[in-house]
A and B are shown apart, each in its own frame.
Chain A
Amino acid sequence: MKNRKYIHQMGTSLLSIVIAVIIGSIVIGLCGYSPVLAYTALLKGAFGSPALLMTTLEKSIPLIFCGIAAMISFKCGLFNIGIEGQLIMGAITYALIGLKLQWLPMPLHILVCSILAMLAGALWSSIAAILKVTRNANEVVTTVMLNYIAIYFTEFLVAGPFMAEGMIAQSNALDERKMIPFIPGSSKLTWACVIALVFLIVIALFYKYTVTGYNMIATGINFKAAEAGGIRMNSTCILSMALSGAIAGLGGAMLVSATYGRFVLDMSSGYGFDGMAIAVLGQNSAIGVLFSSILFGGLRTGSLYMAMFEGIPSELVSILQGVIILVISAPMLVRYLQVWRKKYE
């Protein structure tokens, strides 16, 4: 029975990818490009060679964190659309405090700064959660607004008091020896990917084996029943949202400490929204998040390749992502298709 449920979920995800590919090819065709060429370039660019595969995996690291963050909020029935902002707040905290704490030895430096970045992300998302609980303010709108506020706030910091020399709005660079090192034998992949996997497993175990995790899932499925069952709604909601923000903040921290080495304005190119799509496509399961993150990481690298060699706009990928989200959001679509298939048979 349980296996059937998993197969059904996987089927829904695959179906949505297929539908997205079909709709995508219609759009590509309408714009006057060849869908076959586009998709071959996309696949080739994402998984075509070991080096490209490494890039894909490296790109999927922040996506895994954002996917986990979105998953945590969805599981509790909350819509955290502010992952982008929480990630930015985590990243700026890591970069600015990291610059002050350069005297710490490397592992400790990463640990301390990451914890602070997680705190920053958690605080940022808690604002929305507290407003939701105390004032019933819709968290979708507040988190989007907090995104914009985070963007302007960090712009103020790195274009003003903490601006590095030069014309680009960015902070000073961290010492390279304080950044997360590469995995031996790889020139692209850092230990950050191990950290991401560890967090994925920890979160999966958290939901499977702890009471708090169970409470969160129960709240998401039916909050009235959960409340009647004695679960404290308010603290569960705030905790879920804070956890979600903390993971997003950690994603930002990894982006600074593994990829950029400093805070750059616009460094998060839509990771937050991708994270939502990943959690939706992964059907809120840890293993699903892992695979969807790699897929979305592949879309990111592949789309650049596609734009470079075939001249097809890389933004096409966001249409694919949007359609995937839309199709998965529709439980009835799958049922209609099943009914239709039976009739056909």
Chain B
Amino acid sequence: MNSILSLISTSIRLAVPLGYASIAGSISETAGILALGLEGFMMIGAFMGVLGAFYTGNVILGILMAAGAGAIFALIFGFFCIQLKSNQVVAGVGMNIIAEGLVSVLMIAIFGSKGKSELVPSLQKLDIPILKNIPIIKDIFSGYTGLAYFLILVMIIAWIVIYKAPIGIRLRATGINSEVVDSLGLRSGLIKYISVAACGAIAAIGGTFLSLSQLNFYSKDMVAGRGYIALAIFVFAKKNPALCVLISLLFGFTEAIHLRMQKFPISSQFLAMLPYLCTIIVLIVSATNNKKQKLVVK
């Protein structure tokens, strides 16, 4: 029983960064920009969060700095995609390579090692007042850091903004046909920039969850393809933030199996493959579900 509970809570914990990243991806995808740079945004976020916490000694400031850095980095990506009409796939891969190089160089310049940064203060775990007294519920719903609960808020806000708010209609219209939006006197470029910046900030916060909540340092290869997995998640979720979080839970579970089930008679390498295999399977299934909906690769 205890091992099942710990499996569930580990799944939830591992799902959080994917949740942030896939919501971030949905937002920019809705505006018609395929955020292939998600991996890079998360990497920048994870590192800048640690850097901010290292210099200020305050985790919240670190996270804010990460979000800001992620937004700026994403805006550069946006500038290339929107203003310079870059191929989104090539530009996204370029941004990921830049992010990796930049973080490695800064790691060596600031912490003197490219593998692992110095330890910084990390987020405290929160106990939810009433839930913490109920036996099983407490293990599943209580005891995460604030960022995990913040994800629910982000999910709700993103859902309302995309589907219920007036700006959401403009956002979706921009994704469908930006020229029509322009012809109505609305600035589709501005809408795209805002959505890309939001994407970068949210993905970066997802990155800080890896470095400031799960751990209290930055380590190389920390993001490990989560940005790409998030791409598959929001395709499967049809860009719906609520579904993004649900599907992230599934992926969190596949990662949790690797971490918690070391006693399985299967080699750990095969368990480590699970999230990546699962991504491919999800892509196969989602493509048959919505044949008409294609990723906007131009």
Contact = CB atoms under 8 A, between A and B. Distances in A.
Interface of A: 27, 31-32, 79, 81, 131, 135-138, 140-142, 144-149, 152-153, 155-156, 159-160, 273, 276-277, 280, 313, 315-326, 328-333, 336
B212 to A, nearest CB: 23
Contacts of A81: 93
A153 to B, nearest CB: 7
A160 B267 contact: yes
Interface stretch (B48-56, B154-162, B168-176, B278-286): B278-286
A248 to B, nearest CB: 16
A152 B228 contact: no
Given A145-B225, A316-B105, A325 B283 contact: no
User: Most B CB atoms within 10 A — which of A276, A316, A319, A336?
Assistant: A319
Contacts of B276: 145-146, 148-149, 152
Contact of A329 (B80, B284, B294): B80
Contacts of A320: 101
Contacts of B279: 141, 145
14 contacts: A31-B105, A31-B109, A79-B89, A131-B280, A138-B297, A141-B228, A141-B235, A145-B229, A149-B273, A152-B272, A152-B276, A273-B93, A315-B105, A318-B100
A277 B297 CA distance: 19
Contact of A31 (B86, B99, B106): B106
Contact of A156 (B80, B84, B269, B283): B269
A276 B93 contact: yes
Given A79-B89, A141-B232, A319 B283 contact: no
A295 to B, nearest CB: 16
Given A138-B295, A140-B36, A141-B232, A316 B84 contact: no
Given A27-B102, A148-B225, A148-B273, A137 B97 contact: no
A145 B102 CA distance: 23
Interface string B259-298: 0000000010110110011011001100110010011010
B5 interface: no
Interface residues of B, number: 50
B171 to A, nearest CB: 22
A198 B277 CA distance: 37
Nearest to B90: A329
Given A140-B36, A152-B273, A276-B93, A322 B101 contact: yes
Contacts of A315: 100-101, 104-105, 108, 114
B95 interface: yes
Contacts of A280: 90
Nearest to B278: A145
Contacts of A31: 105-106, 109
A329 B80 CA distance: 8
Given A136-B291, A330-B84, 9 more contacts: A79-B89, A79-B93, A140-B89, A141-B228, A141-B231, A146-B280, A322-B101, A324-B94, A336-B84
A135 B232 contact: no
Q: Lowest 6 CB-CB distances: which A-B pairs, in order? A: A322-B98, A318-B101, A325-B94, A315-B104, A322-B97, A330-B84
Contact of B269 (A155, A313, A325): A155
B269 A153 contact: yes
B83 A323 contact: no
B85 interface: yes
B239 to A, nearest CB: 14
B65 to A, nearest CB: 17
B91 A326 contact: yes
B177 to A, nearest CB: 18
Contacts of B36: 140
Contacts of B114: 313, 315
B124 interface: no
B87 interface: yes
B43 to A, nearest CB: 12
A141 B284 CA distance: 11
A137 B85 CA distance: 24
B105 A319 contact: yes
A318 B84 contact: no
A79 B231 CA distance: 15
A280 to B, nearest CB: 6
A326 B89 contact: no
A325 B232 contact: no
Contacts of B229: 145
Nearest to B283: A137
A321 B97 contact: yes
A329 B86 contact: yes
Contacts of B91: 325-326, 329-330
Contacts of A328: 90
Contacts of B96: 322
A317 B121 CA distance: 32
A273 B105 CA distance: 18
A59 B227 CA distance: 30
Contacts of A326: 80, 86, 90-91, 94-95, 98
